Amino acid sequence: MQIPKEAKRQARELFESSLDGAGRPDNGKVLSIADLVAKAAPRHSVQILREFARLIRLETAKHHALIESATTLDEGTRDSILKSLQARDGGSVTVEVKVDPSLIGGARIRLGSEVWDASVLSRLALLSS
């Protein structure tokens, strides 16, 4: 179902008002805005809330890192990667670490939509193509 332009505009305005000083979603503001929209029930309120939630989800994903490695990372390596990601992002980054033996060796790091792949699996795939 297509969202009306007015609903998108209102969701964008609500999204921008939910950001803190650093330009990241403030949990308290997000919850209170969602509650106000639900109670006020303006025209297209469901579409406004869906678009608002989508914008919040996309912004939150920009600051979430997924680190995949072939073996368990030691504490020093993990901290070093985290510091590099925080410096690159300019703030706090949430981190999720997974072990994926199919990588054979190395690591793959995803921060938002950016991916750094230094795994043996990706190098082998490049060689075979």
Number of domains forming the structure of the chain: 2
Average pLDDT, the chain: 93
Q: Are residues 55 and 87 in the same domain?
A: no
| Residue 1 pLDDT greater than 70, yes or no | no
The model's pLDDT over 12-50, given as tens digits with 9 standing for 90+, comes to: 999 999 999 888 899 999 999 999 999 999 999 999 999
The model's pLDDT over 47-62, given as tens digits with 9 standing for 90+, comes to: 999 999 999 999 999 9
Report the pLDDT value the prediction gives residue 110, as an integer from 0 to 100.
96
Report the pLDDT value the prediction gives residue 9, as an integer from 0 to 100.
96
Report the pLDDT value the prediction gives residue 119, as an integer from 0 to 100.
96
Terminal C-alpha separation, the chain: 40
| The token pair that represents 14 in the structure block | 């609500």
Q: Are residues 71 and 52 in the same domain?
A: no
Half-sphere exposure for 23 (CA within 13 Å, toward CB): 6
What's the predicted TM-score (pTM) here?
A: 0.74
The model's pLDDT over 90-109, given as tens digits with 9 standing for 90+, comes to: 778 899 999 999 999 999 99
Q: Are residues 21 and 68 in the same domain?
A: no
Q: For residue 25, what are the domain limits?
A: 5-61
Domain boundary among 39, 61, 83: 61
Q: Are residues 56 and 25 in the same domain?
A: yes
**CA 97 to CA 85: how far, in whole Å?**
13
Q: Are residues 49 and 90 in the same domain?
A: no
Q: Are residues 123 and 94 in the same domain?
A: yes
Q: Are residues 122 and 69 in the same domain?
A: yes
3-class SS at 45? helix
What single-letter amino acid sits at 31? L
Pairing label, strands 107-111, 94-99? unpaired
- In the block, residue with structure tokens 């106000």: 36
